[in-house]
Amino acid sequence: MNRLFSQSLLTLTGVSFLLCSSQLAMALVPNNVAIIVNSGSTNTIGYRIYVSPSGEVNYVDGKGSNQGKLSEKLTKNFFRDLKVAEPLSNLPGKQSCVKSVSFGTITTIRFAGEDSQDISCPGNNAKAQRLDNDVIAIAKALNVVNVPRSQGKPLPPQNF
């Protein structure tokens, strides 16, 4: 009986630890940081870019992790366009978006607890188009690209 109680207690402790760890991991990304996620494709590795309102950036792609700083203008434009598009979960995406099976990617943004649809397929939505243009400019400024799978490493898992 004591052994059963001890095993149950250890299991409960392990579950509690996992819950606390996952909550800690989610807390590591502040609510005011925008996360740009590119899915990658059959042939390429995606990327994630974490953009703070100060322009400080952390990112990971098939080449590895790095940090950078965006220009004040690009940062202000991006966060202005995010605010205009809120709530991101209501941002419509184009219903039918033809993409290559081998090279087509999906790009989404998480900000203030909301996730966007695929902004790389904005259709006629001006808000999504501005965000897509911002993301393209941010990736270009950081030299973040979709690395061919044969030339890079898979991204580490997301903790949120």
pTM of the complete model: 0.77
Express as a percent the part of the chain with pLDDT over 70. 76
**Rounded to whole angstroms, how far apart are CA atoms 86 and 111?**
9
Q: Is 35 helix (H, G, I), strand (E, B) or coil?
A: strand
Give CA–CA dist 114/36, Å, rounded.
12
CA distance 12 to 18: 10
C-alpha–C-alpha distance, residues 147 and 45, integer Å = 5
Q: At what angle do helices 72-85 and 126-142 cross, to 10 degrees?
A: 150
Count each helix (H run) and each strand (E run) in the chain, helices first: 3, 7
pLDDT digits (tens, 9 = 90+) for 54-104: 999 999 998 899 999 999 999 999 999 999 999 998 887 655 677 776 668
Q: How many residues does this entry show for the chain?
A: 160
